[in-house]
């Protein structure tokens, strides 16, 4: 089996590429390296340095091998607003994917996995997201991703495209020898990066949301998946798509999210320092987040998250400090 992973040299993509190799697939990665690094990839991966929206470049890659499935990991997450973010989201999420899909269809590669996210559902409401939850995007990230999903449905009808859309929330942790999760950049926020920056002493204080939640410690549930669990899900999704085809949507989520307070306590233990917090309006850490329902993926794929909050925090901490330690999630 052969997989083409678009945007596969980043934090999640490199883990996905490694998991496909471990499962016995031949793996090719195409990445423009705007935020990725080819050194993250296992040596057995065939790497192509190209923008995934460039039809000629992607077309030449597709012609080289009879790929069984293409997997896109190029979509961008939410930003802080403004015209620059709006244009970035629509160009990267929709325009580039439009040209990518045109290239794949023209070259008869019609098995496609698209990485969307929870922003297609609108602002978090505290309810669990399922495969059947109605879409109601309210920002440029959600709307641009929703436009791609509409295009996929049309291509399924008109061009016999078999596709799967996968959505999940925050991702953390690290594989042995793999990169740590990205730091906040370009207006994007990542709660685990902010937490570990304070735990490591590179930031003085952790800003947390003011809201109270019905949890044991009054802090918000945080559904953070280990990057290894996410990568394993992509392998199962690709195998399912190659075998059955059709149109599918999967939500990935942990079975029992840990609270923001628990993540703080774990970071304090590993960093061996007290973390000072300050409640502020608009803080990402400890705010109301989307929470997925894991039962759909469990029933259809036999997938479930395995990592504990402790394993997520500890493995990412080690990766940030360049320390390698044995892990049940190592390649």
In a domain, 297, yes or no: no
Map residue 90 onto helix, strand or coil. Answer: helix
Same domain, 216 and 246: no
Establish if 274 belongs to a structural domain: yes
Instruction: Examine residue 299 and state whether it is found in any structural domain, yes or no.
Output: no
* pLDDT tens-digit map of 39-67: 999 999 999 999 999 999 999 999 989 99
Domain range for 206 is 175-222+255-289+306-320
Q: What's the gap between Cα 246 and its chain centre?
A: 23
Same domain, 20 and 123: yes
Both 43 and 128 in a single domain?
yes
- CATH number for 261: 3.90.25.10
Q: Cα–Cα distance between 145 and 93 in angstroms, integer?
A: 6
Residues 241 and 271 in one domain: no
66 and 181 together in one domain = no
* Cβ proximity of 230 and 168 under 8 Å: yes
At residue 326, the pLDDT reads 42
Same structural domain for residues 125 and 209? Answer: no
Regarding whether 114 and 42 lie in a shared domain, the answer is yes
Cβ atoms of 315 and 174 closer than 8 Å: yes
Same domain, 148 and 87: yes
Work out how many domains the chain is built from and give that number: 2
Q: Does residue 300 sit within a domain? A: no
Distance CA 305, CA 230 (A): 8
- In terms of domains, do 239 and 92 share one? yes
pLDDT digits (tens, 9 = 90+) for 180-222: 888 755 556 788 999 999 999 999 999 998 888 877 888 989 9
- Do residues 307 and 153 touch, judged by C-beta distance below 8 A? no
pLDDT tens digits for the chain (331 residues)? 999 999 999 999 999 999 999 999 999 999 999 888 999 999 999 999 999 999 999 999 999 899 999 999 998 765 545 567 889 899 999 999 999 999 999 999 999 999 999 999 998 877 789 888 999 999 999 999 999 999 999 999 999 999 999 999 999 999 988 898 887 555 567 889 999 999 999 999 999 988 888 778 889 899 999 999 999 999 999 999 999 999 999 999 998 889 999 999 999 999 999 999 999 888 888 888 888 999 999 999 999 999 999 999 999 999 988 865 444 444 3
Judge whether 296 lies within some domain.
Answer: no
Query: What's 25's domain CATH number?
Result: 3.40.50.720
């Amino acid at each position: 089996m052969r997989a083409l992973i678009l945007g596969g040299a980043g934090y999640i993509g490199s883990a996905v590429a490694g998991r496909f190799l471990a499962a016995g697939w031949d793996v090719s990665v195409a990445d423009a390296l705007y935020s990725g690094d080819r050194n993250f990839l296992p040596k057995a991966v065939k790497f192509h340095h190209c923008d995934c929206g460039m039809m000629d470049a992607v077309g030449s890659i597709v012609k080289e091998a009879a790929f069984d499935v293409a997997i896109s990991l190029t979509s961008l997450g939410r930003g802080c607003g403004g015209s620059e973010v709006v244009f970035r989201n629509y160009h990267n999420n929709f325009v580039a994917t439009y040209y990518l899909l045109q290239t794949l269809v023209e070259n008869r590669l019609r098995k496609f996995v698209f990485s969307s996210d929870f922003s297609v559902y609108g602002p978090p409401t505290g309810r669990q997201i399922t495969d059947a939850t109605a879409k109601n995007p309210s920002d440029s990230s959600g709307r641009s991703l929703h436009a791609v999903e509409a295009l996929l449905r049309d291509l399924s009808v008109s061009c016999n495209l078999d596709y799967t859309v996968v959505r999940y929330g925050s991702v953390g942790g690290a594989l042995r020898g793999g990169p740590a999760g990205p730091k906040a950049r370009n207006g994007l926020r990542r709660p685990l990066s902010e937490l570990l920056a304070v735990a490591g002493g590179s930031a003085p204080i952790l800003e947390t949301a003011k809201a109270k939640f019905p949890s044991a410690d009054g802090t918000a549930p945080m559904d953070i998946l280990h990057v290894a669990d996410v990568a394993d899900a992509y392998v199962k999704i690709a195998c399912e798509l190659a075998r059955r085809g059709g149109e599918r949507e999967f939500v990935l989520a942990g079975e029992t999210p840990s609270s923001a307070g628990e993540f703080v306590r774990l970071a304090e233990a590993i960093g061996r320092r007290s973390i000072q917090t300050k409640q502020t309006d608009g803080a990402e850490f400890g705010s109301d987040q989307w929470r997925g329902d894991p039962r759909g993926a469990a029933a259809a794929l036999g997938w479930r998250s395995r990592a504990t909050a402790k394993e997520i925090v500890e493995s990412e901490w080690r990766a940030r400090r360049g320390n390698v330690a044995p892990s049940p999630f190592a390649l």
